Amino acid sequence: MVQQFLPAIGSLFGARILILPLVFLCCSACVSFSSMLVLAFICGFLWDAQHTLGAQGGDPNIYTDPVESLRFGYSIILYAMMGLLMQFIQPLFRKAKWHISSILAGIAIFSYLFTEYLLLNFIRGDFTFPPRVLYRIYLTSALTMLFSPLIFWIIHQLASSCRHNIRYEGLRQKHRYID
């Protein structure tokens, strides 16, 4: 719901704060692998429900070259990939290196938008990557990243108020943890 009230900033190449992906990323760093997949499915589903465009429509004899769109459901896969990235750095939380997770959240958002734009180019053909697109991706990632400590703090406050212990098990075995 909060995402609905965050408009694009025209003066920053249309960059915006992506709250839903950020909350998902921060949660991904705090929950188990299976919970992360459930979250990825829900968030990706909601994201696509809001953003997927419909078919071209009109007379196919006139509109002979319809422009394709990304299929409903693609975000579920992209969210899962971002979540996987965050799962690998769970052990850093135990070492109280939350700032690395914040930076990684920014990197994950950058990768997500970059992949999304590449997919768009792939299905529509005619590859273009102007500087303004790079600026938009970069500024969106940077703006979103700035809010990640706040989201992490809220998650921890919620966990402590519910007396829930975040275990940060990650995907790997203990002896393989990144220190």
User: Is 100 near other proteins (CB under 8 A)?
Assistant: no
User: Is 72 near other proteins (CB under 8 A)?
Assistant: yes
Question: Which CB atom, from 79 or from 93, has the smaller least distance to other proteins?
Answer: 79
| Among 20, 40, 43, 89, interactor with other proteins by CB under 8 A | 40
User: Is 12 near other proteins (CB under 8 A)?
Assistant: no
| Total chain residues near other proteins (CB under 8 A) | 58
Shortest distance, position 102 Cβ to other proteins, whole Å: 21
Shortest distance, position 66 Cβ to other proteins, whole Å: 7
CA atoms 123, 121, 78, 27: torsion sign: negative
User: Is 173 near other proteins (CB under 8 A)?
Assistant: no
Classify the phi-psi angles of 149: left when phi > 0, otherwise alpha if psi is within -120 to 50, otherwise beta. Answer: alpha
Shortest distance, position 99 Cβ to other proteins, whole Å: 26
Task: Please give the Cα distance from 32 to 54 (Å, whole number).
Answer: 35
| Among 17, 25, 37, 86, interactor with other proteins by CB under 8 A | 37
Helical residues (DSSP H) of the chain, grouped into ranges: 19-28, 33-51, 74-88, 90-94, 98-124, 131-146, 148-161
What are the beta bridge partners of residue 9? 15
CB 79 within 8 A of CB 40: yes
CB 148 within 8 A of CB 99: no
CB 25 within 8 A of CB 108: yes
Interface residues toward other proteins, by CB under 8 A: 1, 4-5, 7-8, 10, 13-14, 16, 18, 32-34, 37-38, 40-41, 44-46, 48-59, 62-63, 65-67, 69, 71-74, 76-77, 80, 113, 116-117, 120-121, 124, 128, 130, 132-133, 136, 140, 171
